Chains A and B, each alone.
Chain A
């Protein structure tokens, strides 16, 4: 009875559609239709631009006058550009520093927050630490610029109160990048904390109980249970913080404008300046292509690392 009722309309539909497409064909059509919007977006705003930027590398183009053929001059210029080295060094330092600190701090804070405590305390701590994530990077960088000014700045005043010398946060090559890193960690470590917190809460309690029965202390539990089981989360967290850190732009744009000299200029900022301040679209594309290559190598490296170190259950 049930079979007859259910199969009748289904059978009809199937027969109807088979006539035109077949089940597989219908499913394929659905597949193409469902992916179409995303695919169109991907092709027009990622794939097409990548191809276009490959072409741009071989052109001299200033947006205002028609492009001219540059052959390999934009590429050879890369090797003569002494600023590139400094800027990549800055970028790597900022990316490494921010990724490392964000993740270590994020994990420690998550471990700290993942223990028994009154809910109100947990609420206050979590709110305080996470909230900066929701503010806009550029606006709060304006605030931090006020705080970090060398003369009559707030932070230096507080340091003076405990007997420390003023620090040239924004104006010295040694500190400018550190300031940018501090700001990024201030802004993002709460986000990493939340991701790690979810990872920690996903670890079944039985593992800890088993470890305790084996006589493992807190530290051993952390090393033998928490770390391996959190590694997929950590892998994800490191990947997104790396991608985020490579794109740091508004942070340094507002805090230091890339200075002093080039001391805190990042590769993203350099590309932007070459393109939209110098109007050298060809050369800017060549520079951005180097970033593309670096990121491909990095991603491949990450997957290699993941295969060796990340434990999936």
Chain B
């Protein structure tokens, strides 16, 4: 029933997209003029939108669309936001911006994004899709002070990827969906084979830092590195320390995890030198490319509190510096539509924000057996901590995590140091 109504909405949206809407057909006179140049920027591989650009030629003849890549600046979302801000500060034309929740606060605080509410209210189809085909969690995640700053396009959670061939080889059952940290550690000890030789095999590796990767662990222990409102440091919480200790022990005590610095998780996973990793759906892309198929996914192992999964959403928004916001809005709709979502799904990218697309059989085709899991988690998903000063917070945490993984500082010492750095940084938000 739900599925059907979802498809109906997609049908309507498709129709709306294919048929030139009132505004553009009425402007036949202007269409003959120079098309308006709209530049969109994204963190995704730009070829994700090659087909969308083709479509824009037909559907938006008055717009010359260009999609370019915004570099990661040598980091995660912190580097991405910084690069983007430097570009805008440099006076570059950027009309449409893809940003995820992690960088949304910063961009909003710097007044880089135009609230979309006006556009949405004037556009019943877009509003219909946003209200009915996009999960409320995803929609609200991209709001700042009740205003919709970005139109959701895709999202991710974190699940456990595991090598099914190795599990079979050592005689392990596939993990159950309610496995806990003890079960996980047991599996790690069973699959690891680390002697310092050429055939070393590590059980698990995880991003040594990264708010998203770490939150996947914290959330399953009922804690978070920041307070609920993201305004204060929470890194001295015993449960934070416990989580870090568990991960540090994987490296330093049990020696089943490599030091993350310089370790290439992708290649080692595909080569069978790494058995488990935590990642979102985007990791499917690399495995598709490498023809690696002997893997499956499961929820992150759980420790305490309610079952929660971390989620982060990205979307398309309009830059305050755009001289053609109306055309930019047309591009936002095009780039977050069903076709663009399908293109992304087929390249093994993120989970589409449109439920109708996630429920298509095609979504499951491009992934491991358990792919349905990706979308299912949404009902108990919690947002990755994303304060407006995310670009300052993430590097502070990463720097201090690194001193735990290499065994130089105890978890307590490192988090005390992180706390001391976070306190003045977070105080800036309240002031």
Contact = CB atoms under 8 A, between A and B. Distances in A.
Interface of A: 62-65, 145-146, 148-153, 157, 160, 166, 168-173, 253, 256-257, 259-262, 273, 276-279
A259 B402 contact: yes
Contacts of B408: 172-173, 260-261
A157 B264 CA distance: 16
B261 interface: yes
Contacts of B86: 63, 276
Interface in B326-373: none
B78 interface: yes
Query: What does DSSP make chain A's interface, helix, strand, loop or mixed?
Result: loop
Interface stretch (B168-176, B194-202, B222-230, B281-289): B194-202
A63 to B, nearest CB: 4
9 contacts: A63-B86, A64-B89, A64-B110, A152-B273, A166-B196, A273-B395, A277-B82, A277-B395, A278-B391
A277 B391 contact: yes
Nearest to B257: A151
Nearest to A276: B86
B104 to A, nearest CB: 16
Contact of B261 (A150, A152, A279): A150
A145 to B, nearest CB: 5
Given A149-B262, A173-B406, A64 B196 contact: no
B406 A145 contact: no
B145 to A, nearest CB: 19
A91 B262 CA distance: 22
Nearest to A257: B74
Given A64-B85, A150-B258, A173-B408, 19 more contacts: A63-B89, A64-B88, A64-B112, A146-B262, A149-B262, A157-B198, A166-B196, A171-B405, A172-B406, A173-B403, A173-B406, A257-B74, A260-B261, A260-B402, A261-B402, A261-B403, A261-B408, A277-B78, A277-B82
A278 B392 contact: yes
B89 A168 contact: no
Nearest to A256: B261
Contacts of A173: 403, 406, 408
A233 B27 CA distance: 73
Contacts of A172: 406, 408
Interface string B245-270: 00000000000001111111000100
A58 B261 CA distance: 38
Interface string B396-414: 0011101101101000000
Nearest to A168: B406
Interface string B189-229: 00000101110101000000000000000000000000000
Contact of B403 (A149, A257, A260, A279): A260
A9 B267 CA distance: 78
Contact-residue bracket for chain B: 35 or more
Given A64-B110, A277-B73, A149 B263 contact: yes
A262 B399 contact: yes
B315 interface: no
Nearest to A273: B395
A148 B262 contact: yes
Q: Which of A65, A151, A259, A279 has the most CB of B within 10 A?
A: A151
A259 B85 contact: no
Contacts of A153: 262
Contact of B262 (A150, A253, A273, A278): A150
Contacts of A62: 110
B301 interface: no
A152 to B, nearest CB: 6
Given A168-B406, A277-B79, A150 B259 contact: yes
B94 to A, nearest CB: 13
A152 B263 CA distance: 8
B259 A168 contact: yes
Contacts of A169: 262
A151 B85 contact: no
Nearest to B202: A151
Contacts of A63: 85-86, 89
A171 B73 CA distance: 21
Contacts of B400: 261
Given A149-B262, A151-B263, A171 B85 contact: no
Top 10 closest A-B pairs, CB basis? Answer: A151-B258, A63-B89, A260-B402, A149-B262, A171-B261, A171-B406, A277-B82, A171-B259, A261-B403, A259-B402
B206 to A, nearest CB: 14
Nearest to A157: B198
Contacts of B79: 277
A152 B222 CA distance: 34
A170 B399 contact: no
Contacts of A253: 74
Contacts of A150: 258-259, 261-263
A170 B89 CA distance: 34
